[in-house]
């Protein structure tokens, strides 16, 4: 009986520690329409405004109660948008981000005595290149293209006396 309980406890601990946390954040439509935020590059001409790195640190009590938020929503939704506006950027490219996520087993461990006395640290970090669009003026025809129609000035009407 004792061995069965121990086997069940080991199986539950293994299952709980194998869980993977996953976060997602989708920018609001207003932010999507105003800024380019991408993990890649862009083909549109731009001027680099420099490198940006944002870090947000937080803590969870009892493994689950957040006392200082450090998540993707706070970093992307609040801090990144403020930074883009403050620096006059039109977007950020080559974005890389990392969020420290704890497994369920680790969170449960920090909810039990005596570990519940210690806050569980959280952290999210973002980096990328700030850009501003370059005004290229009106579109130019490709090299070697046939010229467009030529307009000739209209003859002035001859007044009759």
pLDDT at 83: 95
Q: Answer for the pair 105, 16: CB distance below 8 angstroms, yes or no.
A: yes
Alpha carbon distance 23, 44 (integer Å) = 30
Give the three-class secondary structure for 58: strand
CB 58 within 8 A of CB 69: yes
pLDDT at 158 over 60: no
How far apart (Å, rounded) are the C-alpha atoms in residues 23 and 129?
23
| CATH 3.90.550.10 at 28-133, yes or no | no
Which residues, including other chains, have CB under 8 Å from residue 42's CB and lie 6 or more apart?
36, 91, 93, 131
* 61 Cβ contact partners less than 8 Å away, ≥ 6 residues apart: 67, 116, 119, 120
Of the two residues 114 and 17, the one the predictor is more confident about is: 114
pLDDT of residue 151: 42
pLDDT, residue 129, reads 97
Measured in degrees and rounded to the nearest 5, phi and psi for residue 62 equal: 55, 20
- The residue with greater pLDDT, 27 or 158, is 27
Mean pLDDT of 72-83: 89
């Amino acid at each position: 009986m004792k061995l069965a309980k121990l086997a069940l406890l080991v199986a539950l601990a293994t299952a709980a520690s194998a869980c993977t946390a996953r976060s997602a954040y989708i920018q609001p439509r207003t932010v999507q329409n105003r800024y380019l935020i991408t993990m890649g590059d862009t083909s549109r001409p731009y001027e680099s405004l420099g490198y940006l790195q944002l870090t947000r640190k937080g803590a969870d009590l009892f493994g689950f109660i957040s006392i200082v938020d450090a998540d993707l929503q706070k970093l992307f939704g609040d801090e990144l948008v403020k930074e883009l506006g403050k620096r006059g950027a039109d977007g950020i490219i080559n974005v890389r981000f990392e969020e420290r996520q704890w497994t369920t087993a680790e969170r449960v461990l920090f909810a039990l005595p005596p570990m519940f006395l210690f806050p569980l640290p959280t952290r999210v970090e973002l980096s990328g290149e700030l850009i501003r669009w370059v005004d290229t003026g009106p579109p130019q025809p490709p090299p070697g293209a046939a010229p467009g129609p030529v307009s000739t000035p209209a003859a002035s009407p001859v007044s009759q006396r």
